[in-house]
Amino acid sequence: MNIIFLGPPGAGKGTQAQLLTRELGIPQISTGDMLRKAMREGTKTGLEAKRYVESGGLVPDDVVIAIVKERLAEDDCKGGYMLDGFPRTVYQADELSKFAQIDAAVDLELADEVIIERLSGRRVCPNCNATYHTSQLGGSTVCKNCGAGLIQRKDDMEETIRNRLKVYKEQTAPLIEYYRNKGILREINCVGTVDEIFALVKRALEA
Ligand code: AP5
């Protein structure tokens, strides 16, 4: 099954995609993670992406489309995959449809105030990409999976979060209608615990 996770920043796309990866055994393809890795490694893509990612804007379509196209051609994607954070514009969605067949687009929705609270408290593992909220960590600053020191993303500062929300509404939210018109949209309100939302995601994908 080839799945897209849509939804505003902080709605829980990465959290749910990580759980679904374990459940279905198919890879999570997060363009955000791929761009941050490229930035850490100082590659040409990383250098090009840095100013957009850090300000909360979108990286140019052609850069992101190229990395996704290359990734989907790898062997582990042959049995299905989850796209987390791609597509983010109608142009990206149109291009994706030229090289991939998507079965379901899961739209995770959440109010802005909750998003700001969740993202301000997010801590991530730079080694294995595990995601936490400070409320789950009991003061710990290390990853439960691999022991690496957790970090706060630069774009999780409140002003940048507000810009990401604005960019989402202007450029990405039209994809909800786009995938509704294709008959593959599954909408989920993400108020609830991680496990409660995961149960809704699984039910939506079974439908
Ligand atoms: P990206 O990394 O994709 O960021 P995003 O879409 O803004 O999404 P986030 O990772 O911030 O949130 P999420 O929905 O995954 O939430 P999470 O599960 O972590 O992109 C970053 C940047 O890269 C973009 O701004 C752009 O510059 C660039 N980029 C990426 N893709 C691009 C593209 N296609 N085109 C152009 N540019 C692109 O959860 C958030 C927090 O909430 C965590 O702390 C988590 O523990 C907590 N949480 C999750 N679920 C719950 C729950 N149910 N209850 C309580 N807490 C919860």
From the list 36, 118, 123, 164, the catalytic residue is 164
Q: Pocket residues for ligand 1 (CB within 6 Å)?
A: 7, 9-15, 31-32, 35, 52-53, 56-59, 64, 85-88, 92, 118-119, 121-122, 131-133, 155, 164, 190, 192-194, 197
What is the number of alpha carbons within 13 Å of residue 126 lying toward its C-beta? 14
CATH of residue 171: 3.40.50.300
Domain assignment present for residue 70? The answer is no
Q: Can you give the residue range of the structural domain that contains 178?
A: 2-26+79-206
Per-residue confidence band for 207, with pLDDT thresholds at 50, 70 and 90: confident
Domain assignment present for residue 194? The answer is yes
Domain assignment present for residue 63? The answer is no
pTM of this prediction?
0.93
Number of domains in the chain: 1
Kindly report, residue by residue over 107-133, the tens digit of the pLDDT: 999 999 999 999 999 999 999 989 999
Determine the pLDDT at residue 103.
97
Burial, 201: exposed, middle or buried (Cβ in 10 Å; 0-12, 13-18, 19+)? buried
What is the number of alpha carbons within 13 Å of residue 1 lying toward its C-beta? 17
Per-residue confidence band for 85, with pLDDT thresholds at 50, 70 and 90: very high
Domain assignment present for residue 56? The answer is no
Domain assignment present for residue 198? The answer is yes
